[in-house]
Structure 1
Amino acid sequence: MTHDDSAIPFAFAGPPPQRDTVTGWQDYRRTRHSFPPAPRLDLATWRCMSPRRRTLHDLHRIATHANLPLLHTPMSRAVAKLLNGRIENNALKRNSTTCSGVMVTGGGYQGKTETVCEVAAAFEDRWLALLDYLNPEAKPGTRDLHAPVAYVQTPVTAKPKSTCKAILNYYGAPVYPRMDLPDLVRQVAVSLHDHGTKALLLDDITRLRMHRADDQDTLDLVRAFMSMNVTLVLIGVDIPKSGLLSEGRFDPRSKQVTLPASRHARVHGLEATQTERRFDLVELGRFSYDSAEEIATWTAHLVGVENELRLMDASEGMLTEGTMPEYLYQRTDGVVGLLERLVEDGCREAIASGRERLTEDLLESITIDLAGVPGRDPNAGEVPSVPRPSGNGPKKGAKQPRNTTFDDPGPNAQDAG
């Protein structure tokens, strides 16, 4: 086998795992750090490659920029610290008290879901290793799959029954046509217990609208899940303004929300006594640019992003020197998801044009369009407003000079030098 016929240096594993099934979650947990980034090559090495190897390497670089790792920020570290502590503490409880939950709020594209899933996956890694991958709560004579974490997306038009079915679908548990709500709730309780689930993540919880009776009943049911000895983690856009906390009391000092006991707990007998439900409310905010310290924090994040890029003319400080930090902030409002999208599209253009570096002029040609993004509900605030280019870059329709970055000057030019 020749060098050009060797295997592609990175694997196309198909679409990303669907985390809302137990199999998909386990695939995500096992593979979340496994993507191999493209090697760093200089222009001379790239030119020595055959055309096929150049194409493959460029494709690998594009894939690298499309799969940038999750970079920690001061905001995400605060969320991770609180969330990890709450899940671990509740998992170690041996009494029958209702487990306190966590609400993670913030704007769209600010990395809430990825941060929560990373914390939960890391907890599951440790929990499985601690128990030698065995479920101590499994019934004798059975081999129930051990699933310490369950990730479920709130249905767009959530109702109590559809929410229960979404949880049961995560486990692949049977759902029969004639099952009424009490049957579904009991089946959810059985599935959570039999699979040893310690954390139930409900994403996009702000799809619930409190002016709808079905949504009020769904939130009431969600609170009842806290009686099932799991840490309930609710993830949503701007939870304080969504109406979800309208029945609760918020303590600004402890950042805890206290909600009344659910009606479903009384109706379906999920617990013997009625207790208030407590949630820690934590915000995963965007970067700010109002002080020297905040600017330094933003710039430090840009350093981390820059270190992950694979552009062959990317000098140190490409994203952090001159007016570039301010420009990137103006284009993204400090939202990490928008920054990732801008950089990803910019790197693709830099490779395709042969410019091999990110500049303000190049990024001015990039428009971030989030319209029609699958899996996002604009009505729930999941799609943020996107700042437009400033218009200070090259004018549309202006003739651009021909790219000569990868031109081979030939041996005569070298002899002339």
Structure 2
Amino acid sequence: MVVTKPEPDEEDIADLGEARPGPTTRLEGWRRFVEEDLASFDLLPEPKWHSLSPTGREAYDEARIRYHSELQVVRTSAVKEIAHQGRLLTLLNQREHGARRGMIVSGKQTTGKTTALKQLGRLHELRIRQRYPGSDRIPVVYLTAPPKGSPRKLAMEFARFLGLPAVGPRHNTIDITSAVCQVMIEARTDLVLVDEIHLMNHATLVGEDLSDHLKYFTEHLPATFVYAGIDVEQSGVFTGVRGKQLGGRCVLVRTGPFPLGPEWRSLVASLEATLRLHQHEQGTLVKHSDYLHQRTGGVIGSLSHLIRAAAISAILDNSERITRATLKSTRIDHNSESAAQPPSPRKGVAVSGPTGFWLVRPLPLPVKPFPRETEDSYLWRLSQTNKISVQRLASPSQWLVSQQDYVGRLSIVSGQPRNSLLRAIPHLGKTEERPRQRARYACRRCVAQRTGTTDHIVWSWTSHHDQVCIRHRLWIGRAVDSPARQLDLTDLPEVVHAQRRHYRLLRRHGVLMMDACYQYTSALWHSLFQRGYRLSERAERLRLLSPANGQVRPFDPRRYLAVYPEIVETISLYASPYWRRLALADDTTFEQFKAEFNHRLPQERALRSTARSWLLTELRQTAMRIESAVLPPAPPPSASD
């Protein structure tokens, strides 16, 4: 059965897209935010649109403007990660009687921290409402840290959200705090979201008082606390004893600009799909993804502002489409505008134009490409060496047209042979055929050896099978977010040996098998360490890397480096068809696989009874996951079936 929606009449158009006011720092506004549906608007058919009267057309356009003015939430990787970590923490804390774990979301301005925080609260409250329909619970409390805050101001922020009676000067801080805690306990609040946490500086007396009072709430409320702020690591939140205690109880999730890549293009496509313009052709903004990244610096807040403002401009000027000219004429925030400001044209330097060709002239200083270097990395090094911007390097010429293709023009500009560029830079000039790998920082010692300087930073295409630079004994793989954090492995030869063995296994079993083995054995060892399996060798490696203390934070390279030899040993076991077949067989044969696992990776102490049964199940499940990942897909059923 197909149901068609009736077309709105002109008198109904004015009611479309009504504004929804109300701050989310009040209970009524928060509930309205949770209950409201995602913004939607259906375009009128072309004949109906053209037949609107002037009054109806004005009301229709006004409704579309209101629709575009509302922020469209896109499920980015940051939003998904914060929602996932928040869900894990609420489950982890539900039976906790001591210090509960929390989360801190840190990042630059307009990188989606507040949006992700609110989406976490919204999903949690909807989940609680579905589980307990008709209850009068207040599962989520959302507030912002007060500027120049004091304990009294913080308590009043909680009271205002809950809608408690007006607080007079005769009520002291303890009275307000006790009332707030009582109401939140009775309302079964289990998630507290505190935004603008960077205003709490532990280096000041005011910040210390505010932190102590916030800690009082965390200890007296059976709730998970999630904080968000601008560059929390540099704002003084982790300063002093109080800051270290907060950092020891909270996981840190960072948000930031999106790199120019598949996720950025997917983000642009998602926002473009929300446009409601009659003459706009889908895919136009995706074609301008590079330009949008250059304008916004990869910041999602600036991108949303630019696209929504351009859509409203297209409605106002009746063009009904967004073009590059529309984007150029749309102003956005000062930070993005100043970062993307093009250089002023000078005589002899190429300027922007419509031809799409480069000014073909060799630059003064040639730069050799690094093996498997990314195209963006090479262009950046070429521009930095010759003291020009990347925008000017890639600007087309208005007065000189080249018949060379992209690689040929780059060869002339860089002074490098064409074949050298093609060998060194995978899929040069073919953004749609980028390798199915990830861009990481190349080994800093390899870069210094090849370039003769330590000033160059090189991004290269690598896979998760490349974790160690064997020549220079540096950890270059997982969780390395800068060349300075590439750890020296001179005192850990077993990690370097594990990389050599990893490469031998890769040549023997192939990429498909090793991809599956690495993914599932890494997850297996992450769970094993949580249950106390072979902790001493890992602790010894951490001690050698950080003699002061062996504690590491999430997403620290040492966390993954310390378990890498065990992962490779487990990979060698599961990659073998013989041992994998035993792991998938009956209980009698499975005992042989279990004995071999214990022989290669012996337990240092007996596991608890529940952990022992879990281990047996997980060993078999890991083999099943690997087997299903490498098996060819089943053929589709035929018509006769």
Assess same fold via TM > 0.5.
Answer: yes
Q: Does the residue aligned with 1:299 lie in a helix, a strand or coil?
A: helix
Q: CA deviation at 1:11?
A: 4.5
What amino acid maps onto 2:58 in structure 1?
Answer: T
Q: In structure 1, list runs of 5 or more residues that go unmatched.
A: 135-144, 250-256, 261-275, 290-294, 371-382, 395-417
Q: Distance in 2 between matches of 1:83 and 1:280?
A: 10
- After superposition, the Cα gap between the structure-2 partners of 1:110 and 1:365, relative to the gap in structure 1 and judged at 3 Å, is same
- After superposition, the Cα gap between the structure-2 partners of 1:125 and 1:360, relative to the gap in structure 1 and judged at 3 Å, is same
User: Which whole-Å deviations, capped at 9, do the CAs of 1:51-107 have from their partners, x for residues lacking one?
Assistant: 2222222222212211242001122211111112212432x32x4222211111111
- After superposition, the Cα gap between the structure-2 partners of 1:7 and 1:349, relative to the gap in structure 1 and judged at 3 Å, is closer
Residue 272 of structure 2 corresponds to residue 279 of structure 1: no
- After superposition, the Cα gap between the structure-2 partners of 1:130 and 1:299, relative to the gap in structure 1 and judged at 3 Å, is same
Q: Is the 8 A contact 1:102 1:279 kept in 2?
A: yes
- After superposition, the Cα gap between the structure-2 partners of 1:385 and 1:226, relative to the gap in structure 1 and judged at 3 Å, is farther
Q: Is the 8 A contact 1:210 1:244 kept in 2?
A: yes
Q: Is the 8 A contact 2:197 2:228 kept in 1?
A: yes
Q: Distance in 1 between matches of 2:17 and 2:177?
A: 41
| Structure 2 match to 1:192 | 184
Larger Rg: 2
| Structure 1 match to 2:197 | 205
Q: Does the residue aligned with 2:10 lie in a helix, a strand or coil?
A: helix
1:10 to 11, 16, 19: 16
Q: Distance in 2 between matches of 1:317 and 1:7?
A: 28
Q: Does the residue aligned with 1:358 lie in a helix, a strand or coil?
A: coil
- After superposition, the Cα gap between the structure-2 partners of 1:315 and 1:163, relative to the gap in structure 1 and judged at 3 Å, is same
| Structure 2 match to 1:69 | 72
Q: Distance in 2 between matches of 1:346 and 1:41?
A: 22
Q: Distance in 1 between matches of 2:92 and 2:41?
A: 36
- After superposition, the Cα gap between the structure-2 partners of 1:151 and 1:66, relative to the gap in structure 1 and judged at 3 Å, is same
Report matched runs for 1:170-319 at 5 Å. 170-174=161-165, 175-227=167-219, 228-247=221-240, 259=245, 278-289=249-260, 295-319=261-285
User: Which whole-Å deviations, capped at 9, do the CAs of 1:106-150 have from their partners, x for residues lacking one?
Assistant: 11112211211112111111112212333xxxxxxxxxx521100
Q: Is the 8 A contact 1:197 1:230 kept in 2?
A: yes
Q: Distance in 2 between matches of 1:393 and 1:171?
A: 58
Q: CA deviation at 1:3?
A: 4.0
Q: CA deviation at 1:180?
A: 2.6
Q: CA deviation at 1:7?
A: 5.3
Q: Does the residue aligned with 2:90 lie in a helix, a strand or coil?
A: helix
Report matched runs for 1:318-333 at 5 Å. 318-321=284-287, 324-333=288-297
Alignment TM-score, normalising by the size of structure 1: 0.74
| Structure 2 match to 1:100 | 101
Q: Does the residue aligned with 2:285 lie in a helix, a strand or coil?
A: coil
- After superposition, the Cα gap between the structure-2 partners of 1:189 and 1:328, relative to the gap in structure 1 and judged at 3 Å, is same
Q: Distance in 1 between matches of 2:337 and 2:205?
A: 30
Q: CA deviation at 1:158?
A: 0.8
User: Which whole-Å deviations, capped at 9, do the CAs of 1:152-207 have from their partners, x for residues lacking one?
Assistant: 11111211111111111111224342233333332232122122111111111112
Q: Does the residue aligned with 1:313 lie in a helix, a strand or coil?
A: coil
| Structure 1 match to 2:33 | 28
Report matched runs for 1:330-409 at 5 Å. 330-369=294-333, 387=339, 390=342
Q: RCO higher in 1 or 2 (8 Å CA, sep ≥ 6)?
A: 1
User: Which whole-Å deviations, capped at 9, do the CAs of 1:274-296 have from their partners, x for residues lacking one?
Assistant: xx96111111222012xxxxx12
1:160 to 146, 151, 155: 151
User: Which whole-Å deviations, capped at 9, do the CAs of 1:234-253 have from their partners, x for residues lacking one?
Assistant: 1111111111012369xxxx
What amino acid maps onto 2:26 in structure 1?
Answer: T
Q: Distance in 2 between matches of 1:320 and 1:217?
A: 49
Q: Distance in 2 between matches of 1:393 and 1:238?
A: 39
Q: Distance in 1 between matches of 2:76 and 2:139?
A: 26
Percentage identity across aligned positions? 25
Q: In structure 2, list runs of 5 or more residues that go unmatched.
A: 1-7, 345-351, 355-641
Q: CA deviation at 1:385?
A: 7.5
Q: Is the 8 A contact 1:101 1:226 kept in 2?
A: no
User: Which whole-Å deviations, capped at 9, do the CAs of 1:214-247 have from their partners, x for residues lacking one?
Assistant: 1221012212222121111111111111110123
Q: CA deviation at 1:39?
A: 2.0
What amino acid maps onto 1:8 in structure 2?
Answer: A
Q: Distance in 2 between matches of 1:7 and 1:355?
A: 21
More helix by share: 2
Q: Distance in 2 between matches of 1:131 and 1:89?
A: 20
